[in-house]
Amino acid sequence: MSKVAAEGDNVHIHYTGRLAGGEVFDSSEDGEPLEFQIGSGAVIAGFDEGVRGMSAGESRTIEIEPEQAYGERIEALVRSVPREGIRLDAEPFVGMNFELQLADGNSLPITVTEVSDDTVTLDANHPLAGEKLIFDLRLVNID
């Protein structure tokens, strides 16, 4: 009987992540497998849960709802600010990413979602917030 992935195991897994519409947003297939410890919080909850019970060599497809991934989109995290109020090293453009340094020493990843002559719209939601994620998984090894 082969070992199955469980809490505390280190796993090596190849994955391809897709959105519900089929768009691939990430994959490990052209590189090294993702390595993480089950239950350590290193990956989103639904991914962690989806790997549990797999055996080395097994493949499966899992669907992860937003609550178990990057959460729902929060519109309060989207703000339009005057262009002169933003100090960036480069001209802002849609899709630009940067980190906003917070007073407590943490940083917040920001994506520019709209640029006009007068304003720049900033979104602090994770780019995959509100999305159902589909992963094709292949467990390579369990340590």
Looking at residue 2, its pLDDT comes to 73
Q: Give bridge partners of residue 14 from the DSSP assignment.
A: 138
Q: Which pair of structure tokens corresponds to residue 111? A: 């994506």
Confidence of residue 90 (pLDDT cuts 50, 70, 90): confident
What's the pTM value of the predicted model, to 2 decimals? Answer: 0.83
Fold topology of 75-123: Thrombin, subunit H (2.40.10)
The amino acid sitting at 11 is: V
Nearest to 7 by CA among 46, 51, 73: 51
pLDDT digits (tens, 9 = 90+) for 131-142: 999 999 999 999
* Domains 10-71+128-142 and 75-123 fall in the same CATH topology: no
Say if residue 70's pLDDT is above 80: yes
Q: Give CA–CA dist 24/76, Å, rounded.
A: 28
Domain extent listing, the chain: 10-71+128-142, 75-123
Report whether 20 contacts 132 (CB < 8 A). Answer: yes
pLDDT digits (tens, 9 = 90+) for 23-40: 999 999 999 999 999 999
Fold topology of 10-71+128-142: Chitinase A; domain 3 (3.10.50)
